Chains A and B, each alone.
Chain A
């Protein structure tokens, strides 16, 4: 264990504690940052992500959104290790095509979620380092959000934040959308415009306090008319 009193008055190293032998091996993973968020409404779903791609102290790109359009009614947000995000989305696209060719119909959001769970679990012993959130419309046309852990455990939610700033955003969403920790407040259902404004505000807050989140915000709004995209600039520092 390194002692806190490393430097004496003259600035020279005072004490040195030997920590013991450590092993360094090639790490197949890297952390590329990024935050993803999805909200489900009565007849819409919103999937939003920042567009910063970082590694350590560097920024690789300011324009690398983490939302991937899967079908006309489903968007996938994935953050974590960018290499695994790319491979995973390639595999999902291929499986979607195969399903379309065998079954003559597009996969529903629920079916994509179940399939993603098994794809992730097939790598149970060497996981995809990706935090996934699917946002879309279910068969009844209602908004649906499915959140996953890296090895495929999933459940349907109303709202979920994932990625580097998830621990900062989730409590804010719990309060504003879930009305948690508030007494005597009327539970107003979320409209699409209010939801979009909330998502923008929430990401602005995340960019203030999380170093891996910023640059720009990409919002995908899924309704039965299709998928609308918006780009909003965020802090670039």
Chain B
């Protein structure tokens, strides 16, 4: 099989290379970045909520970026950090998951899928990749939620939030979380977490894309503009 080769600049520090070029006259290479994403497990499955802003330096490249990759009807991946890194490696993960299913005649587990992504990241550790992703799914073990990042960290947990707005999202979700929430309460909590994070973090915004991972697969719950949400919450705020 052909192994993907990447062109590397002269010198031994690829991660510092782009930064050094940006100081030259007129040359400004800014890559799409920035986010808030969150996911949490509860009694009725896993809620995944992401914002939709893509910034390149100080310029807003897009307000309706898609930060959730639908790997298969039982697996989702979120993207935060560098947009190109996330898109490329998670599409590669989707390809590997599909090959796994064809070779082994059963769907890949969430643990295995997240480990595949984690090992891809470890192969390029130190080279300046930037990716914080949550792999969510439902397999034989039940609902699964793993956090994988560009350093090769891989953690299983009940709740994660990634991106530059993650601290705001953690505050909101931590205070509103109950294990026995109803589905509507969980949807509301996911929306609030992202909405409040976008309100305070400059690099997050746009709209909230929310998914619900259930036993029979994921459904897309909603796509709500953040300014509408904040306006609605403000009614009850002061």
Q: A37 to B195: give the CA distance in the assembly, Å.
A: 32
Q: Are B31 and A157 in contact (CB under 8 A)?
A: no
Q: A166 to B56: give the CA distance in the assembly, Å.
A: 12
Q: Are B31 and A125 in contact (CB under 8 A)?
A: no
Q: A154 to B83: give the CA distance in the assembly, Å.
A: 8
Q: Are B26 and A31 in contact (CB under 8 A)?
A: yes
Q: Are B24 and A153 in contact (CB under 8 A)?
A: no
Q: Are A25 and B27 in contact (CB under 8 A)?
A: no
A29 within 8 A of B: yes
Q: Tell me the smallest distance from the CB of A152 to a CB of chain B, in Å.
A: 5
The chain B residue sitting closest to A56, CB to CB, is B25
User: Which of B27, B64, B127 has its CB near the most chain A CB atoms (within 10 A)?
Assistant: B27
Q: Are A157 and B62 in contact (CB under 8 A)?
A: yes
Q: Tell me the smallest distance from the CB of B207 to a CB of chain A, in Å.
A: 13
Q: Are B87 and A31 in contact (CB under 8 A)?
A: no
B54 within 8 A of A: yes
Q: A81 to B28: give the CA distance in the assembly, Å.
A: 11
Q: Are B27 and A123 in contact (CB under 8 A)?
A: no
Q: Are B18 and A127 in contact (CB under 8 A)?
A: yes
B238 within 8 A of A: no
User: Which of B24, B61, B65 has its CB near the most chain A CB atoms (within 10 A)?
Assistant: B61
Q: Are B87 and A125 in contact (CB under 8 A)?
A: no
Q: A29 to B17: give the CA distance in the assembly, Å.
A: 12
Q: Are B9 and A126 in contact (CB under 8 A)?
A: yes
A30 within 8 A of B: yes
Which of B9, B25, B83, B127 sits near A153, CB closer than 8 Å?
Answer: B83
Q: A117 to B17: give the CA distance in the assembly, Å.
A: 21
- For A122, what are the chain B residues with a Cβ–Cβ distance below 8 Å? 4-7
Q: Are A123 and B6 in contact (CB under 8 A)?
A: yes
Contact (A126, B31) CB under 8 Å given A28-B9, A149-B83, A149-B84: no
Tell me the B71-89 residues at the A interface (CB within 8 Å).
82-88
Q: Tell me the smallest distance from the CB of B87 to a CB of chain A, in Å.
A: 5
Q: Are A30 and B7 in contact (CB under 8 A)?
A: no
Per-residue contact bits, chain B 166-193, to A (CB 8 Å; 1 contact, 0 not) = 0000000000000000000000000000
Tell me the A113-135 residues at the B interface (CB within 8 Å).
117-118, 120-127, 129
Per-residue contact bits, chain A 78-108, to B (CB 8 Å; 1 contact, 0 not) = 0001000000000000000000000000000
Which of A27, A123, A125 sits near B128, CB closer than 8 Å?
Answer: A125
Q: Are B7 and A125 in contact (CB under 8 A)?
A: yes
A195 within 8 A of B: no
Q: Are A29 and B24 in contact (CB under 8 A)?
A: yes
- For B14, what are the chain A residues with a Cβ–Cβ distance below 8 Å? 125-126
The chain B residue sitting closest to A154, CB to CB, is B87
- For B7, what are the chain A residues with a Cβ–Cβ distance below 8 Å? 122-123, 125-126
- For B129, what are the chain A residues with a Cβ–Cβ distance below 8 Å? 124
Q: Are B27 and A124 in contact (CB under 8 A)?
A: no
A151 within 8 A of B: yes
Q: Tell me the smallest distance from the CB of B126 to a CB of chain A, in Å.
A: 11
A110 within 8 A of B: no
Q: Are B27 and A153 in contact (CB under 8 A)?
A: no
Q: A126 to B15: give the CA distance in the assembly, Å.
A: 10
Per-residue contact bits, chain A 128-172, to B (CB 8 Å; 1 contact, 0 not) = 010000000000000000010111111101000000001100000
Q: Are B6 and A153 in contact (CB under 8 A)?
A: no
- For B66, what are the chain A residues with a Cβ–Cβ distance below 8 Å? 155
Q: A147 to B59: give the CA distance in the assembly, Å.
A: 15
Q: A123 to B85: give the CA distance in the assembly, Å.
A: 12
Q: Are A125 and B27 in contact (CB under 8 A)?
A: no
- For B56, what are the chain A residues with a Cβ–Cβ distance below 8 Å? 149
Which of B21, B65, B128 sits near A29, CB closer than 8 Å?
Answer: B21
**5 tightest Cβ-Cβ pairs between the two chains A and B:** A153-B83, A31-B26, A153-B84, A126-B9, A151-B84
Binding site for A on B (CB under 8 A): 4-9, 14, 17-18, 20-21, 24-32, 54, 56, 59, 61-62, 64-66, 82-88, 127-129
**A117-B87, A126-B7, A152-B84 provided; 14 other pairs, C-beta below 8 A?**
A27-B24, A29-B27, A31-B25, A56-B25, A117-B88, A118-B88, A124-B84, A125-B17, A126-B17, A149-B83, A150-B31, A151-B82, A151-B85, A153-B54
